[in-house]
Amino acid sequence: MDYPRGPQKLVEIVQYLIGQGAFAFGSPAAVTLEFSDPRDTDIPGAQSPVESLTGRQPRKLTMLDFSWLRNSLKDDSYADLTLISRTKQYSAHRVVVCSQSPVIIKKFQSQFQNTKQDPSCDACGATPRYCFDISQDDPQAVDCLVQYFYRQDYQSSSSNPAAEDTRSDEAEGAISSSVLKQSSIDDSYPIFHVRVYALAEFYNVPALKELALEKFNRVIQDNSELDRFLDGVEEAYESTIQEDRGLRDTIVNFFYKHSDLLKEERVQDIIQDTNSLAYDLLMHWEENLIALKRVKSVWPGI
């Protein structure tokens, strides 16, 4: 049998598998065994043709193991791509990265036309590589983006001992104080997930964007530190547009449920400085007042 070849076909296959949730490690995909056990008495032909098939048992299922994909993040044996962030270099695979980000694949296509790849070595088995510069983006968010490509999840590097730092001494000396300050921020900070959310939007990785929103919401519900929450609020309204409602609606709803926060001086300062937040709060309160009036019109005693 002739099998389809070429990187484009591989990208299409991986895109299909991702769309089917095959790489969602939280809920591993299951596939039906196409080749039944010949000893199974439920196999058609292993029983009398006149015997009823209504009592047949459902086909057996097997769980797909994608540990190979997770492990590929640390194994550069077949890597053909280097992702360069501000503080690290990641050995990656185009078929994994490009299949999950339409933005990155478009940038690659343009880059491939103008960039000469490293030579391959048939004798030693070396894989030709391309480089992709993402150093303009927040390094912690980039680390989470790369983690997500391979693990369908992410966590801060401080809580991820498996993450290998490939910084050279020269690169470490060049890190700005702002980056060092950011290194103290982990995934218990709402702003951490806001930055991942913004990066997922930029590179058009909707599943990561949804995951970052879920983690952001979980953190603000569990964390009572007001300043951390407000740092996330400011970052969210600076890094998203008005039409992107994910983070903004979550923030507004949180303020609505905790209206006592509006008495805080810093909250009032942020609302005064952020017109879109003030507008969102006003409209949210108005919508809830209208809904309450409708309920009272049906049940006057409420």
pLDDT of residue 40: 53
Q: Is residue 204 part of a domain?
A: yes
Q: Is residue 196 part of a domain?
A: yes
Helix (H) or strand (E) holding 113: helix 102-114
pLDDT of residue 270: 98
Q: Is residue 236 part of a domain?
A: yes
Strands (E), 192-262: none
Q: Which token pair is 81?
A: 């791509």
Q: Is residue 248 part of a domain?
A: yes
pLDDT of residue 219: 97
Q: The tokens 């296959």 sit on which residue?
A: 13
Mean pLDDT of successive 10-residue stretches along the chain, which has 302 residues: 58 70 53 46 48 53 71 85 94 94 88 55 60 94 97 82 41 39 80 98 98 98 92 98 97 96 97 96 89 75 64
pLDDT of residue 297: 72
pLDDT of residue 48: 47
Q: Is residue 201 part of a domain?
A: yes
What is the C-alpha to C-alpha distance for residues 104 and 178, in angstroms, rounded to an integer?
26
Structural domain count of the chain: 1
Residue 153 has a CB neighbour count (10 Å cut-off) of 15
What is the C-alpha to C-alpha distance for residues 198 and 221, in angstroms, rounded to an integer?
20
What is the C-alpha to C-alpha distance for residues 26 and 140, in angstroms, rounded to an integer?
22
Give the range of the structural domain holding residue 198, as residue numbers without chain letter. 184-302
DSSP assignments along 21-61, one per residue: TTT-TTS--EEE-SS--TT-TTSTTSS-TTS--TTPPPPPE
Q: Is residue 7 part of a domain?
A: no
Structural contact between residues 246 and 212, judged by C-beta atoms closer than 8 angstroms = no
Structural contact between residues 34 and 79, judged by C-beta atoms closer than 8 angstroms = no
Q: Is residue 125 part of a domain?
A: no
Q: Is residue 203 part of a domain?
A: yes
